[in-house]
Chains A and B, each alone.
Chain A
Amino acid sequence: MAGGMKMYGKHRFPGRLFIVEGIDGSGKSTQLSLLKKWLEAEGYVVYLSEWNSSPLVHEVTKRGKKKKMLTPITFSLIHATDFGDRTEHDIIPPMKAGAVVLADRYIYTAFARDVVRGVSPKWVRDLYAFAVKPTVAFYFRTPLDVAMKRILGGRDAIKYYEAGMDLGLSDDIEESFRLFQSRIIDEYEKMVDEFSLVAVDATRSIEEQQAEVRRIVSDTLTGTKKTMVRRWLDLNSLARGSRI
């Protein structure tokens, strides 16, 4: 009735979608923000969409987590709802407008986490079948020890669901986190071929990784829109006789 539902791989938009995946502490968010800076400097219209960002659904997720009300299925569904809102509001409209959309975590996060929680791999993949297929999906491959050092060094306490405490792997939150993340890594590794994820060796320097990311991204940007603001700036600078 209302236009029909497009499935993964079937959307045709002028925009581009680049996403980053990897376990906590893989450095993917750092890489994404560097990519964003570069794309903006190059004059592209860039739109950043984050995991768990839909204000509408966020409160349900937050409350469900805080009160430990979530089962593997409701955990999966509430995140899919959030992702649905992101897709309909944050991803599809800018893609239609020809923007570059960046996403920190995407459906592959859900596939990894939910399957580790015991949800059927087929079911969760079907659940997210409405997702727009990324132009490039980067997977920041990190050994668990490296990621653990980065995390335990620099942030607040690990949260209940992040550590997979609901799985009852261990009573010790750090140990649970380690076991949970190592299973997540196994799931990511299975998806590299299945979804043609571009694996980046995240043990290398930030600069080396970023150079690789930019090279891969720039190969896919032919014909993508640049901003009017930039054009205006260009003209302005030209008028003032300066170089850009």
Chain B
Amino acid sequence: MAGFEFFGEGLPDIDLAELKGKLIVLEGTDGVGRSTHITLLKQWLENHGHAVLDTGMTRSALAGKRLKQAKEGHTLGGITMSLFYATDFADRLENEIIPALRAGFVVLTDRYIYSLMARAIVRGADPEWLHEVYGFALRPDAIFYLRVQIDDLVTRVLQSTGFDYWESGMDMHMGEDMYESFVRYQKFLLSEFDKMVETHGFEIVDASGSVEEVFENLRERVDRVVARNGYRL
């Protein structure tokens, strides 16, 4: 079994050989159903005897709450925002993800550094700089990229939560209104994700079908990753 690797420089004092679990990432833009599938996958994995940790952005004990508040104020600059997210991520990586992997859990994460990098790049951050900053991150066992076309995305978002200020990139004044801005912003994110397919080894999962269809597809892929451990039940 190939072990974990760091993205770049790595964390001090971590023995990667101790990490026995699996790290599985769901990536994709707003409204593609990531959180629904995380919930379903967690239940399914637990039913099959795997211990599961699910985690996602802005959930760290250290910075999560403040980060949400900071977003409400809309006062953060692009660099500050990127670094605040990196802090939140590092806290979760060190205090939740790594301990869980050490204990042999399957870690399901709703977004990972790829979303953080894509958002930061849209806001003007230098891609190489982001690469260096996130050098302490672990390379996941698999990255499932839930992908839909932009038209689909608009319909989905309208049917669920409506346009969110940040998810519409309103802080960058990208369009005359929320709709225009949302479309331009999400298109930009999609193109950033598409670029990452090759460089970071994303597996594209067509998310345009029904929840059942998409889940079926994901479940097979997750099963393969977990089975690589040899502890399939």
With a CB–CB cut-off of 8 A, which chain B residues contact A118?
A: 12-13
B26 nearest CB across to chain A (Å) = 24
Q: Does A78 interact with chain B (Cβ within 8 Å)?
A: yes
In the assembled complex, which residues on chain A have CB atoms less than 8 Å from the CB atom of B86? 77, 80-81
Among B63, B94, B123, point to the contact of A78 (Cβ < 8 A).
B63
B84 contacts the other chain (Cβ, under 8 Å)?
A: yes
**A85–B77 touching, CB < 8 Å:** yes
Closest beta carbon of chain A to B137's beta carbon, Å: 10
Does B125 sit at the interface, judged by CB under 8 A? yes
- Residues of chain B within 8 A of A129, CB atoms compared: 126, 129, 132
Closest Cβ of chain B: how far from A2's Cβ, in Å? 4
B62 touches A1 (CB 8 A): no
State the total of A-B contacts with C-beta under 8 angstroms: 109
Q: Is A196 an interface residue (CB 8 A)?
A: no
Binds B, one of A21-29, A55-63, A233-241: A55-63
Contact B133 A126 (CB under 8 A): yes
Return the contact of B79 from the options A63, A64, A84 (Cβ within 8 A): A84
A69 within 8 Å of B by Cβ? yes
- B40: interface (CB < 8 Å): no
Q: What 0/1 readout, one digit per residue, does chain A (17-59) give for beta carbons within 8 Å of chain B?
A: 0000000000000000000000000000000000000101101
- Contacts of A71 on B, CB cut-off 8 Å? 90, 94
Point out the residues of chain B lying under 8 angstroms from A185, CB to CB: none
Q: Contact mask A115-143 → B, CB, 8 Å, 1/0?
A: 00011101100110110000000000000
List of B residues within 8 angstroms of A77 by Cβ: 83, 86-87, 90
Chain B CB count within 10 A is highest, among A54, A63, A73, A87, for A73
B79 contacts A87, C-beta separation under 8 Å: yes
Do A56 and B66 contact each other (CB < 8 Å), given the known contacts A72-B12, A74-B90?
yes
Which chain B residues border A88 with CB–CB below 8 Å? 77-80
7 contacts between A and B (CB under 8 A): A56-B66, A73-B136, A74-B94, A80-B87, A84-B77, A84-B79, A84-B82
What residues of chain A have their CB less than 8 Å away from a CB belonging to chain B?
Answer: 1-5, 7, 54, 56-57, 59-60, 63-64, 69-74, 77-78, 80-81, 84-85, 87-89, 118-120, 122-123, 126-127, 129-130
B residues near A (Cβ < 8 Å) are 8-13, 61-63, 66, 70, 73, 75-80, 82-84, 86-87, 90-91, 94, 121-126, 129, 132-133, 135-136, 172, 188
Closest 7 CB pairs of A and B: A88-B77, A2-B124, A126-B132, A84-B80, A81-B83, A77-B87, A118-B12
